[in-house]
Each structure stands twice: as structure tokens, then as C-alpha cells.
Amino acid sequence: TRPRPLTAAGLLVAAALVVATVLLAGMAAVGTGRAGDPGGAGAARSAPAYTPSAAGTLRGLAPAGTLIGTAVDPRGLNLDPAYPGVLAAEFNAVTAENAMKWRNLEPSPRVYAWAGGDQIVDLAHRNGQAVYGHTLVWHNDVPDWVSPDWPAQRLREVLRRHVTAVVAHYRGRVWAWDVVNEVLAEDGSLRDTLWLRKLGPGYVADAFRWARQADPDARLFVNEYGTEGRTAKADALLDLVRRLRADGVPVDGVGFQGHLDAERPPEDVRGNLRRFAALGVRVVVTELDVRVRLPATAEGLRRQAAVYREVLRACLDVAACASVTVWGFTDARSWIPGYHRGFGAACLFDADFRPKPAHAALLDELVARRRTGG
């Protein structure tokens, strides 16, 4: 089901928290740091106080039952004084960008480091925001102490214990989980990973069943990139989800990451979401950013805004689409320049937390929907 809309009392509490957070952010004394740090590192930065648009905020204009979220970087919370205020005002859902990945949560066997994830969850609940959990089973960010030389039975038990421990720790506080992340190769076959080699393809179904046992109320998603439009990889993902559900595996939804290039938008996002929804699952956009070639030009930002708007429009046109989450909201903390050489400026706000045309395009789409009742 879609996330429950906030109650009137919850909205009042959230609004009060937004005001307090903005005031505190504007009053905070900070040092200076390097603006636009592509990897999110660096010292505390000064930035102008955040002022919401006259048109409103993303969370304030979102239709009932629709989440508009962002990935959260704890370094932004701690180092950028404008960050908490924008986060609280603009978004009604959050995803831990890295804090809930296995390497960070369990650096040593059975020694858990919950602080980063707990900080995000606690802040989200104070702000009246839903939490999307990311991610339980992935081929990356596996702790170094997990050995590929272990026998299959031991690896399976360690993976089971990890999934169970994390979901149980956040039981009742996380509305949905990316249970398996990036499970497909580019040709649509199952990705060649430690889990596939040692445990066989059944590890995917096992992970979903373990997560369901640990929190029966959390919604469980498979999350993938390169599947936002009608691609061969998307066809393979559709087939995988169909087969898993036919086998009784509790796959509740599909996440489409949406790491996009403004010059190469995906084909028929709306139609693609609809064909997945026809399987009886929820669909969500989980990691949306739209990179442009640097230095960013007015035309590049215009194209970027059009892609952002089209993705949001596609989600709003599909009843089964529960949320759109951007992968960070400020260029000051974006991962894109460090990974895609020559590209950047991928977020809704620039490195000084000024809203960009993409933010205005999303607001405009939400305002239009309210006027038409769509």
C-alpha cells in the first residue's frame, strides 16, 4: 500500500520543527569550507539562510499518499548549516545514503554501529518524514571480514543474520526496504556476485523471506538502475519480479534508481512504470539525479529540469507509484562529479543551497496537479 499520509497533528508538529530547524540553521556559527565539494567531504561551509519558494515546498504540495524524498548524508547534517532546514522543509521522506549499508553497520562480526542510521531515522521521525531503508543485500559494501572462501552454508547464515538484524532493529520505523540492490547485469542476467556464486539464485528469494519475517509490516522492494525506461534490462527485471511473485516471494515493489543524463532521458518512463504496476506491485523512483556536462549552462539546466519534471509526472500518472526520491538535494554533497568525469550539477539545489530550475519545474508540476485535481 501507499505510505499513510501524515495526520493533521503530525503536519503541525512537522511545520513547527521546520521553522525551528531553519532558524537554528541560520543562526549556526560555522567555518568556511570548499563550496561544491563533489564527494561530500570537507569542512563546515557557510551558506545563505534557506527561504522557501513563494509557490510552496515539495512536501507541502505533494498529493496525499505520495512521498517526495531525498537521500541524506550525515556529513551534510553536521557540516552544512542550511542542510537541515532544507531537508525538513522540502521532503516528506528520507533514505540513508550510506549509513545503512552493511560495511558501515557491522564493521566487525556482531559489532554493530547503528549511530549513523539511527540519527537519520530519529531526525526523520521528528520531522514527520517516512524512512526508506537502503540497502540489505548488495554486491558492494560487503564488510571485509565476510570471506568469499567461506563455505556456502556459513555465508548463507551470515547473510541471513545481517538481513534479520538490520530489519529487526528498525522494525516499525522504516516503511520500506531495498532488499536486493542491483541484482541484474547489463544483459539482464543475474549479476555475477559472491552471493550468486556461492548461494545460487535462490539467495534473492531468501533475502525477501528473511526481511518479511523480521518486519511483516515493512514493504519490500527490489532496486535497480538502467531500468527506468523500456530497456532490455527492464524487460529482464519485469520477468524476474513476475517469477518471484509467482513463487510466493514477498516482493511488494520495484525501485527504479534514476541516475540520469540530461542529454539522454529514458524512453517512456510512464509506460514502463505501468507495466510493472500491472504485476500488482508498487513502483518507486529511488535515487533520482540528472547530471549535466560541466560547466553547467542555462540550456543544460533547462534540459535537466525537463527530465526531472517528466519523471515526477510519470510517477504521478501511475496510481501504484508511491514515491520519488532524489539522490541528495544539493550539489555541495553530490556523488556525481567524483564518479562521472566532466559531469555534475545534478541536484535540485546548487552548492550554496539555492534552488535551481529543476526545483522550480517540480513545484510547477505539483501546483498544476493541484489545480486540475490530478
Active site residues: 287
Taking residue 125's Cβ as centre, other Cβ atoms within 10 Å add up to 13
Q: Is 223 left (phi over 0), alpha (psi -120 to 50) or beta?
A: beta
3-state secondary structure of 317: helix
Please tell me the number of Cα atoms within 13 Å of 323 on its side-chain side: 33
Q: Do the beta carbons of residue 113 and residue 96 sit within 8 Å?
A: no
Is the sign of the CA dihedral 188, 199, 284, 116 positive or negative? negative
Q: In whole angstroms, give the CA distance from residue 374 to residue 363.
A: 14
Q: In whole angstroms, give the CA distance from residue 355 to residue 204.
A: 40
Is the sign of the CA dihedral 15, 21, 23, 26 positive or negative? negative
From the number of C-beta atoms within 10 Å of its C-beta (0-12, 13-18, 19+), residue 278 rates as exposed
Q: In whole angstroms, give the CA distance from residue 254 to residue 184.
A: 13
3-state secondary structure of 130: strand
Q: In whole angstroms, give the CA distance from residue 127 to residue 308.
A: 25
Give the orientation angle of helix 8-27 with respect to helix 83-90, to 10 degrees. Answer: 160
Q: In whole angstroms, give the CA distance from residue 227 to residue 122.
A: 32
Spacing of C-alpha 273 from chain mean position: 17
